[in-house]
Amino acid sequence: MVKNKNKTVFVLNGPNLNLLGARQPEIYGADTLKDIEKALKAQAKSLGLALEFRQSNHEGELVDWCQEAAREAAGVIINAGGYSHTSVAIRDALEALEIPVVEVHLSNIYAREDFRHTSLISAVAAATICGFGAQGYHFALEGLAGKLT
């Protein structure tokens, strides 16, 4: 359980992100999710923040974590993967939050297949970052830290 709500950021990762580093590195990069988590935790520490870093391939679990974030976190960074384009349930869970949400996509969703051009999450996020690979998580954390101060 998170001890300090005011300094904790939930980083939620959706389906297939557990395959980073092996799955289409030409699109998603060579960093694994563990690499991203390690670097992001170091950055969070330097910003005086704590991180809850999670990944699930299951929509309901991501919804549960959004609801948990409402009670336990100061902000959320989410890369919902393919659910970004399809999940009304995750969108609604994020919309119910009274804390800032930053959406991250590793690839530029607007330079890919047409179905990826629409994110249901973008409309309820304070910001959306796409196309910077793993660096997008760092931009999101920096931006979120600014919103929290």
Based on the structure, what is the number of domains in the chain? Answer: 1
Q: Is residue 118 over pLDDT 50?
A: yes
As a whole number of angstroms, the distance between CA 118 and CA 53 comes to 25
Segment 14-38 shows an average pLDDT of 85
pLDDT band at 115 (very low <50, low <70, confident <90, very high): confident
Place of tokens 């409309």: 123
Buried b (16+ CB within 10 A) or exposed e, 1-33: ebeeeebbbbbbbbbebbebeeeeeeebbebbb
CATH code assigned at 121: 3.40.50.9100
Which residue type sits at 59? E
Q: What is the pLDDT of residues 62-91, one digit of tens each?
A: 999 999 999 999 999 999 999 999 999 999
Handedness of CA 70, 72, 74, 79 (dihedral sign): negative
What residues are annotated to the active site? 28, 105
pTM of this structure = 0.91
Task: Name the residue range of residue 108's domain.
Answer: 5-148
